Structure 1
Amino acid sequence: MTSEISNLPTAEQIRRAPKVLLHDHLDGGLRPGTVVDLARENGYQGLPETDPEKLGIWFREAADSGSLERYLETFAHTCAVMQTREALFRVAAECAEDLAADGVVYAEVRYAPEQHLEAGLSLEEVVEAVNEGFREGERRARANGHRIRVGALLTAMRHAARALEIAELANRYRDLGVVGFDIAGAEAGYPPTRHLDAFEYLKRENNHFTIHAGEAFGLPSIWQALQWCGADRLGHGVRIIDDIEVADDGSVTLGRLASYVRDKRIPLELCPTSNLQTGAAASYAEHPIGLLRRLQFRCTVNTDNRLMSGTNMSREFEHLVKTFRYTLDDLQWFTVNGMKSAFLPFDERLAMINDVIKPGYAELRSEWLFRQSATNPAPSRGSDAE
C-alpha cells in the first residue's frame, strides 16, 4: 500500500468523524419503513411499493432521472404521509437519530410547513410537532452515546404565494428551535425575486435565510438570490462554475459573480449525489466541488435528500475521498466551513469548532499515526549510528 493510499481515511473513520449538515430536507430523509408504516396508519394508498426495501429502491431510481422536476415529484409520497402531528413528530425524531448515528453533530433540517396542512393542522402546530420531534431525537441520540443539535429551517415554496407568511412564522419561532428561512422548489419560472417582501421582512428582523439557487437555473438565479434578495447562503450554488473558465494550460479565470461569491465567503451548500441525479453534474469526478475546493470557495458538503439519493453524510464524504483523494484534513476543512456558515450565534459556532470538531478530527489523526507506526516501525539504528 502506498503512502498516498494509506493517508486516506477509512469508511469507519469517516463515519466517526464529526460532521456538519446545512442542507437536508425533512421530507426527503424518511426511513422507507416509516413511509410504509405511516401510509398504512393514515390510509394513504398511493405508494408504488409497500415493501420497505423495494420502496427505498423505487425512490432512488425515480429520483435518478437527470431532471429536477422529476426528482421533486417523489416528494408527493413523503408529504402525503406527513400530515398529522404524530407523523411529523416521528419523522423529525428519527431524522435526528439517523443523523447522529452517522456522526453529524450539528444539522439544519428544512421543511415547508405549508405542505403539511391537509389533515387540518395549523402552521404553528406543524412547527411545534417538528420541533418536539427534533428534541426527542436529540434525547434518543444522547441515550445511545451520540451528540447532535438540530435546528429547523422553515421553507416557503417558490411557486406558491405564502413566503411572507412563512417568514413571519420563522421569526415567531426564532430561538425556539427554528434558526432560519429558505425557499425551495423548481427554479425555472419561479425566481426568488417573486418573494422580495419576505426577504425584506427577514432583513429588517435581522434574521437568517438561505435560498435554493444555482442548482438547475444557473447564474441569473444566483445573482438574484444574492444581489436582489440578500441571501446569507446559496442552497446548492453549484452552477457558479459557469462563471469560472479553465484554460487548456490549467489556468483559471473567475468572472465577476464567481469572484464576488468567493471574496464575500458566501457559503455554497453543495450536495454532490443529488446534483448528479438532477443533472447539475455528470459524475463525481466532474462535480465542480473539486475545483471550488481548490479555489478556496466556502464549500460545504450536504445530503439534500437522504431517501431519494440513498445517501448520508458519510457516503457523501466517501465519494469525495475516493474521487479526489481527500484526507482527514480536507474533511475537517469542509466541516469547519459548515459550522462557520451555520445560523447560530458566533460564540456557539466557535465552541462547536474548538470543542467538538477539531478535537474529533485530531483524535482520528492520532489513531492513524499510531496505526502507521505500528505497521511501519522505525528501522533499528544499530550500525547506522556510526
Structure 2
Amino acid sequence: MTTTQLPDTASPSPLEVDLAVLPKVSLHDHLDGGLRVGTVLDLAREAGVEVPADTVEGLAEWIAEHANGESLEKYLQVFALTTAVMQTREQLRRVAREFVEDLVADGVVYGEIRWAPEQHLAGGRTLDEAVEAVQAGLDEAVEAADAAGHVIRVGQLVTAMRHADRAQEIAELAVRHREAGVVGFDIAGAEAGFPPSRFADTFTWLAAHHLPVTVHAGEGDGLDSVRSALVDGRALRLGHGVRLAEDISVEYGGVDEDGEQLDELTGLVDLGETAAWVRDRQIALEVCPSSNLQTGAVDAAAGIAGHPIDLLVQLGFRVTVNTDNRLVSDVSLTDELYLLAETFGYSLSELLDLQLNAAEAAFLSVDEREDLAEILVAGWGEVISGDAVGPVLEELDDEDEDD
C-alpha cells in the first residue's frame, strides 16, 4: 500500500469527518447496478416493463431482499430488471448522466464505469451506438459538474459477458472507442464454468492493442479463476479477488523460523504462489466489501469483521475499495469507507492509502495517475493535519498533453 507519511496525531477519527466531501477514486462500479430506484420505476413505466413493486419504497425492499440472498445468482436477478429499462439511447443517456451525478455527490473525482453493451441492444441500437449513448450521458454530467465547481473524470470499462460468445467482438468495440471515453476491458458474469482461459485469444489481442484489462475473478469461483485471470487474462487488476485469501494461511501460537515459540495472538503467515505473485507485483484488488457479503464471496455469517480485506491490507496487497453495485447493495463509496473505519479502526491516513492504491491502479497514464494522487493528498491532507474542516479539490487535468 502506498503510504502518505502525513501526520495523523492531530487528525480526527474518520467517524467524525464528512467523508462524502473528500476526493475519492472508484474503479469497480457497474452502470446497470447503480440506477436510482426512482429512475428504474420511471423508465419501466415509460417502456411498459413489469416491475415487482410500483412504489420507490416497495421496489427498494424487493431489491434489498434479493441483494441479501447471500448468493451471487439471487443477487444478479435484479439486473434482469435494470437492463430491461436500459435499452434505448435516451434510457442509456439518462442512466449514465445520473450515475455520474451520484458519483459527484459522493466526492468521486475519478471513476471507471463498467457495463456490457451487448446486453443493451433490444431497442435497436448497434454496439457502437450504445457506447456512444452512454458516453453522451457521461459527458453531459461531467460538464455540468465542472460548471458547478466539481471536476470529475470518468471512463468506460467495456465488458464482455462470459456466457456469451462475443468477447472478441466486444474487445474490438472497446478498442474502437479508446479515444472516445473507453479506458479498458473486463469480463463479467458467472465465473464457474467460464474461466478466462476461454477468452485467451481475445486477451492476447487486447494486449497487442495495448488496452488495459481487469478481470472479474475470485468472487464466484476460487483460486483457479484467479490464476486464469492472471495467466490467460493478463489482468492488470482483479475484480473482487477476495478468494485469494484461500491461498493465505495464518497459524497462531506456532514456532517461528528461529525456533521461538509464539504467543496465541501472534500469527505466522504463509502466502501461496498465487497470493505471493499478486502481492509482490502489486496487482490491484477491486474489493467491494458489502457486495462480497451479499453475493456469498465472503461468509455473510461472519459479517464484515470476517471479511479478508483487513488481512489483505495488513499483508501489503494493493487493496482498493469499491461499491460494485450501488443500487443493489444500497451503498456509496463513502458508506464503504465508514464501514471499514468502524469495523477495523482505520484512521484517515489509512483510508487515504486505500484511495491512493486506487489512483495508482487507475487505467490512466503515469502523469495522470500522479496528478490524481496529488488531488487525493491535497484533499485528505488538510483534514488529516487538522488544518481544515474540508478538502480543497484541485482541478484534475484531464487534457492529454499530446493532443
Which category describes the TM-score, using the shorter chain as reference length? over 0.9
Say yes or no: does 1:218 pair with 2:222.
Answer: yes
**Does the alignment pair 1:42 with 2:78?**
no
The reply on whether 1:110 has 2:114 as its aligned counterpart is: yes
Which segments of 5 or more consecutive residues in structure 1 lack a partner in the other structure? 372-386
Mapping of 1:1-386 within 5 angstroms?
A: 7-10=12-15, 12-45=17-50, 47-249=51-253, 250-281=267-298, 282=300, 283-354=303-374, 356-367=375-386
Once the two structures are superposed, residues 287-307 of structure 1 have per-residue CA deviations (whole angstroms, 9 ceiling, x without a partner) of 111010001100000000000
Mark the CA change 1:252 to 1:180 in structure 2 (over 3 Å): closer, same or farther: same
The one-letter code of the counterpart of 2:151 is: R
Counterpart-to-counterpart distance in 2, 1:122 and 1:42: 19
Change over 3 Å in CA distance of 1:358–1:6 after alignment to 2: closer
Query: What amino acid is aligned across from residue 353 of structure 1 in structure 2?
Result: A
Matched to 1:274, the amino acid is S
Q: Across the two proteins, how many residue pairs are aligned to each other?
A: 367
Which fold has the larger relative contact order, with Cα–Cα distance below 8 Å and residues 6 or more apart in sequence? 2
Which moved further from structure 2: 60-69 or 338-347?
Answer: 60-69
Residue 152 (structure 1) shift: 0.3
Cα distance change on mapping 1:370 and 1:275 into 2, 3 Å: closer
Rounded Cα–Cα distance in structure 2 between residues aligned with 1:325 and 1:93: 35
Contact 1:13 1:364 in 2 (8 A): no
| Structure 2 length-normalised TM | 0.88
Cα offset, 1:18, TM superposition:
1.0
C-alpha displacement of 1:193: 1.2
Provide runs of 4+ in structure 1 moved above 3 Å: 3-7, 366-371
Q: Write the letter of the residue equivalent to 1:351.
A: D
1:175 is displaced (CA, Å) by 2.0
Q: Contact 2:15/2:342 (CA < 8 Å) preserved in 1?
A: no
Inter-partner Cα distance in structure 2 for 1:52 and 1:12 = 30
5+ long unaligned stretches in structure 2: 1-7, 254-266, 391-403
Q: Taking structure 1 as reference, are residues 5 and 218 closer, same or farther at Cα in structure 2, changes over 3 Å only? A: farther
Instruction: Decide whether aligned partners of structure 1 residues 36 and 299 sit closer, same or farther in structure 2, where only a CA change above 3 A counts.
Output: same
Q: Is the 8 A contact 1:101 1:146 kept in 2?
A: no
The percentage of counterpart residues that share the same residue type is 54
47-56 or 19-28, which moves further after superposition? 47-56
Deviation at residue 189 of structure 1 after TM alignment: 1.0
Deviations 1:257-291 (Å, cap 9, x if unpaired)? 10000011100000000000011223111111101
CA–CA separation in structure 2 for the residues paired with 1:256 and 1:264: 12
Distance 1:130 1:370 in 2: 36
Per-residue deviation, residues 291-340 of structure 1 (Å, max 9, x unmatched) = 10001100000000000000010000010000011111011101010010
Q: Is the 8 A contact 1:301 1:334 kept in 2?
A: yes
Once the two structures are TM-superposed, the CA of residue 34 in structure 1 deviates from its matched residue by: 0.4
Q: Report if the CA contact (8 A) 1:60-1:307 is conserved.
A: no
CA distance in 2 between counterparts of 1:246 and 1:328 reads: 27
Deviation at 1:13, TM superposition (A): 2.7
Please identify, of 297-306 and 63-72, the stretch whose mean Cα deviation from structure 2 is larger. Answer: 63-72
Q: Is contact 2:66-2:78 (8 Å) kept?
A: yes
Structure ranking higher in helix proportion: 1
Q: SS at the partner of 2:14? A: coil
Q: Give the Å deviation of 1:27.
A: 0.1
- Structure 1: distance between partners of 2:88 and 2:166: 21
